[in-house]
Structure 1
């Protein structure tokens, strides 16, 4: 699986830990930055990751900022993207199984590296298969398309 990862400066070190762990799990990682602790605006990174997930240049995305909230909101502005803020393994698993979330977001000021690795492992370890959740996810997709048509 190809995983796009990105962070702001508040989460640089956690991103680096998570990136290495994803590679250890056997996945390919594309790093969208940031590349140091120099200040970066999280929407810029989140938009880049979300746009490439939407364009199917990567299979899933991981975004990290201070709380995970800003990157979740930003990524969710890209049409077709479902980003889920998760700080525990159960929510991360359900983000994929119940909501087909293409992007997992986390907060570096909320959880540490070991918990973050387990959250990512839970998220990447399952695949959405529709089932009873398929109809619910389709409703989300339909509503987004309806709003998109209204905007034009």
Structure 2
């Protein structure tokens, strides 16, 4: 699988660890930054945008973004149509993120998740299939909101 990965200064060390781990597990990894010194402040919105474009319009199958809490990264990523970013701290939320929400961007909180746990989360995220069914209907409703339909799109037939 082609995975694009990026991190702000808080996630640079864990990103490097995961990039090596992903490559060792047979994935193509595209490291989009930040690089180097974890003490140098790096804004996350441009990194999130780059990852999301790579997932929606580029060659990446999925993306991984790391930040301190992951909260801002999740908000930024979910501004992009077609991106379903999930902030995951454990295996349960990871399996819901993929199985129910078909997430294509994984957000990790580098100040919360240890490297070994991050490996387990990423492995589960890559291996968990989307369930479809009622969850497909809900994703279609989210897509209607993205297209600018808002509550009206749901009220007028999207929320059966």
TM-score above 0.5? yes
Which runs of no fewer than 5 residues in structure 2 stay unpaired? 151-160
Determine the C-alpha separation between the residues in 1 that align with 2:24 and 2:92.
21
**Which residue of structure 1 lines up, in the alignment, with residue 158 of structure 2?**
none
**Which residue of structure 2 lines up, in the alignment, with residue 36 of structure 1?**
36
What pairs up with 1:96-135 in 2 under 5 angstroms?
A: 96-135=98-137
Distance 1:39 1:147, change over 3 A: farther
**Which residue of structure 2 lines up, in the alignment, with residue 94 of structure 1?**
96
Deviation readout 1:30-64 (Å, 9 max, x if unpaired): 11101112321011101100111111420111000
Report the CA distance between 1:74 and its aligned residue.
Answer: 0.9
Count of residue correspondences: 148
Deviation readout 1:87-109 (Å, 9 max, x if unpaired): 10121122111001110101111
Deviation readout 1:14-44 (Å, 9 max, x if unpaired): 0011111111221111111011123210111
For the residue of structure 2 that corresponds to 1:136, the secondary structure is helix
**Which residue of structure 2 lines up, in the alignment, with residue 9 of structure 1?**
9
TM-score scaled to structure 1, two decimals? 0.92
- Please tell me whether the aligned partners of residues 6 and 45 of structure 1 are also in contact (alpha carbons under 8 angstroms): yes
For the residue of structure 1 that corresponds to 2:142, the secondary structure is helix
**Which residue of structure 2 lines up, in the alignment, with residue 75 of structure 1?**
77
Answer with 1-10 or 88-97: which moved more: 88-97
Determine the C-alpha separation between the residues in 1 that align with 2:55 and 2:6.
12
Determine the C-alpha separation between the residues in 1 that align with 2:64 and 2:114.
15
Determine the C-alpha separation between the residues in 2 that align with 1:26 and 1:91.
24
For the residue of structure 2 that corresponds to 1:84, the secondary structure is strand
Determine the C-alpha separation between the residues in 1 that align with 2:71 and 2:92.
18
Q: How large is the RMSD of aligned CA atoms in angstroms?
A: 1.4
- Please tell me whether the aligned partners of residues 4 and 61 of structure 1 are also in contact (alpha carbons under 8 angstroms): yes
Pick the structure with greater CA Rg: 2
Distance 1:5 1:80, change over 3 A: same
